[in-house]
Amino acid sequence: MTVIDANRMNEIEARYPEFFHRSFRQRFGGLMILIATLLYSLYAVWFFDLPKLFAEAHWERVGIYLSQWVSYDVQPEFRIGDDGSIEVRYPRFSPLGDNPHPDWLVNNPDGSIAVSISGTSRTVTVSKSETIVTAHGISVPVEVSSGAPKVVGPVPHWMTVYDDNVLADLGFAGDVSISVDRVKIRKRFIGWANFILDTQSSFFDKPVGEVISLIVSGPRIKPDQSNLSLAFDDIWNNSEWQHGDVWTKLFQTIVMAFLGTLLGSLTAFPLAFLAARNITPNRLLNQILKRFFDFLRSVDMLIWALFLTRAFGPGPLAGSGAIFLTETGTLGKLYSEGLENIDNKPREGIKSTGAQSVLVHRYGIMPQIVPVIVSQTLYQWESNVRGATIIGAVGAGGIGLKLWEAMRTNANWENVAYMVILILIVVFIFDAASNALRHQLMGTKTH
């Protein structure tokens, strides 16, 4: 065991004062940050009233919306007549078409109708006097011959009795609403109904093999149009999914982002040279342009879109203009700061040879600033593809407006899923293309 005397200890303290004479901030800085973070978190919980917010949130809607993203439902309605007859009706524009005969609906010899909601585990049998709901391993009869529907026996947890109807929740498979004179069934299917061909198409409800045969070598359905052209028209003009309109709006969004970013970069580039203090030694001009850039980028792109849609009307022109104004401010600031941080030695060396200002900028500045310009411009272009979707929702054109219309109805969530997936694919493609182009132009390798 080595004993250190007082002189040796003082010598060590003098040599390493940062370990033995730490300031208050060094000793308690981490603890203070932790306490400040905790206090701020408690303040945020109080300010936003998070307990009440979570308690009153409609969490059940999350499951409903997600299920509608990946599925569709068919809603047959069984109307019970005074004579005991049962009439089956479907809503207008049913996914099954105008004259459906689904195999999951069977007319029994006794006049009742059996409906398979999910195989044999969840079924509904409708007759003139009662409706039998089978689910979760039990069958529950509901009498409908009296003034109000009446559940025979104990009411299971998945069934709710109201004054004039009985509601049976069968989970993801669907639900059943039973009243005295009618039974409404919602049967859910995985997938997107009629995504390729809608119910108005000449090829609707035909097997895939038959459709391919008709397109390749079958007789013309319409004498003045080939079957291939007719099939393309039916897909492009699908009334339920509106592929043509969606893809056109998506292309508008891409064009808006590209045009706005291009015009913004072309405008910001020369202005940045005037705003950079080391390039243009005019302090008043520098400050005016920098405050101009601050103004353009401080007004959010969404606000610019609102202004321009009022000025020029809704459409992609307003969207491109909003992106142009925002990007002029953003890129102008980035370009000017990049210019102010260049190494002046190459520039001074070329200037000492008596070269003109254009040549000094070309060979003394541009090689240093081009990587910054390319990197920032491509990143902004990639970001604006997403931004163009948002501003489209306020009338600036593009797929954003289409997406907002589908969400506003609160009934077309599968269409919302379709457009969201398209937007994600476009963003991923542009992200990959932007990265590849940036690395190619800057001479670096991707990993």
Q: What is the mean pLDDT of residues 61-70?
A: 83
Structure-model confidence comparison of residues 123 and 397, the more confident one: 123
Decide if pLDDT at 446 tops 60.
Answer: no
Same domain, 264 and 363: yes
Structure-model confidence comparison of residues 33 and 2, the more confident one: 33
Same domain, 140 and 254: no
Candidate from 12-21, 248-257, 347-356, 395-404 with smallest mean pLDDT: 12-21
Residue ranges with strand state E in 55-158: 71-74, 77-80, 86-89, 105-107, 113-118, 122-126, 130-135, 138-143, 150-151
Residue with tokens 């999910």: 118
Summarised one tens digit per residue, pLDDT across range 3-16 is 666 677 667 666 76
Q: Domain end: 166, 190, 214, which one?
A: 190
SS (H, E, C) 378-389: HHHHHHHHHHHH
Q: What is the mean pLDDT of residues 296-314?
A: 88
Q: Torsion angle, CA of 367/369/371/374, rounded to 10 degrees?
A: -120
Q: Domain end: 167, 190, 213, which one?
A: 190
Q: Tell me the pTM.
A: 0.79
Percentage above 90 pLDDT, the chain: 37
pLDDT of residue 333: 92
Contacts of range 110-119, beta carbons closer than 8 Å, 24 or more positions apart: 111/84, 111/86, 112/86, 113/78, 113/86, 113/88, 115/76, 115/185, 115/187, 117/170, 117/173, 117/174, 117/176, 117/185, 117/187, 118/170, 118/173, 118/174
In a domain, residue 16? The reply is no
Instruction: Check: CB of residue 197 under 8 Å from CB of residue 208.
Output: no
Looking at residue 129, the DSSP 8-state letter turns out to be S
In a domain, residue 199? The reply is no
Cα–Cα distances in angstroms (integers) from residue 384 to residues 66, 142, 223, 305, in the given order: 27, 57, 46, 13
Summarised one tens digit per residue, pLDDT across range 338-362 is 888 877 777 778 777 777 777 777 7
**What is the CA 411 to chain-centroid distance, rounded?**
16
Domain count, the chain: 2
Summarised one tens digit per residue, pLDDT across range 73-86 is 999 999 988 887 88
Instruction: Check: CB of residue 391 under 8 Å from CB of residue 301.
Output: yes
Same domain, 182 and 247: no
Looking at residue 182, the DSSP 8-state letter turns out to be E
Helices (H), 237-343: 243-275, 283-298, 301-312, 316-340
Burial class for 10, CB neighbours closer than 10 Å (0-12, 13-18, 19+): exposed
Percentage above 70 pLDDT, the chain: 93
Q: Which of 128, 188, 132 is nearest to 159 (CA)?
A: 132
In a domain, residue 370? The reply is yes
pLDDT of residue 183: 93
For residue 299, report the phi and psi dihedrals to the nearest 5 degrees: -85, 120
Q: Which of 87, 81, 86 is nearest to 110 (CA)?
A: 86
Q: How far apart are CA 33 and CA 36, in angstroms?
A: 5
Per the DSSP assignment, residues forming a β-bridge with 176 are: 168, 185
In a domain, residue 236? The reply is no
Decide if pLDDT at 374 tops 70.
Answer: yes
Give first-to-last CA distance, the chain, whole Å. Answer: 53
**25's tokens:** 């901030």
Same domain, 426 and 280: yes
Same domain, 257 and 338: yes
Model confidence band, residue 438 (pLDDT cutoffs 50, 70, 90): confident
Model confidence band, residue 382 (pLDDT cutoffs 50, 70, 90): confident
Same domain, 253 and 380: yes
Q: What is the mean pLDDT of residues 57-64?
A: 80
Model confidence band, residue 175 (pLDDT cutoffs 50, 70, 90): very high
pLDDT of residue 21: 64
Model confidence band, residue 22 (pLDDT cutoffs 50, 70, 90): low
Residue with tokens 């699908």: 238
Strands 130-135 and 182-190: unpaired
pLDDT of residue 4: 65
Same domain, 283 and 418: yes
Same domain, 336 and 262: yes
Q: How far apart are CA 185 and CA 208, in angstroms?
A: 29
**What is the CA 204 to chain-centroid distance, rounded?**
30
Same domain, 272 and 186: no
Q: How far apart are CA 152 and CA 32, in angstroms?
A: 66
In a domain, residue 19? The reply is no
Same domain, 340 and 425: yes
pLDDT of residue 140: 93
pLDDT of residue 311: 86
Mean pLDDT of the chain: 86
pLDDT of residue 439: 76
> Can you say whether the dihedral through the CA atoms of 293, 298, 299, 300 is positive or negative?
positive
Q: How far apart are CA 302 and CA 136, in angstroms?
A: 51
**46's tokens:** 């109080």
How long a stretch of residues is the chain?
Answer: 447
CATH number of the domain at 251, please: 1.10.3720.10
Domain with 84, as residue range(s), is: 75-190
Q: Domain end: 149, 165, 190, which one?
A: 190
Decide if pLDDT at 213 tops 80.
Answer: yes
Instruction: Check: CB of residue 386 under 8 Å from CB of residue 209.
Output: no
Q: How far apart are CA 218 and CA 442, in angstroms?
A: 55
Structure-model confidence comparison of residues 13 and 381, the more confident one: 381
Summarised one tens digit per residue, pLDDT across range 195-209 is 999 888 888 888 888
pLDDT of residue 111: 87
Same domain, 169 and 273: no
Across 325-343, b (16+ Cβ under 10 Å) vs e yields: bbbbbbbbbbbbebbeebe
Q: Torsion angle, CA of 33/38/43/46, rounded to 10 degrees?
A: 170
**174's tokens:** 């669907």
pLDDT of residue 104: 92
In a domain, residue 118? The reply is yes
Same domain, 415 and 275: yes
pLDDT of residue 327: 94
Structure-model confidence comparison of residues 51 and 19, the more confident one: 51
Q: Torsion angle, CA of 240/244/245/247, rounded to 10 degrees?
A: 120
Summarised one tens digit per residue, pLDDT across range 88-125 is 999 888 888 887 888 899 999 888 999 999 888 899 99
In a domain, residue 202? The reply is no
Per the DSSP assignment, residues forming a β-bridge with 174 are: 187
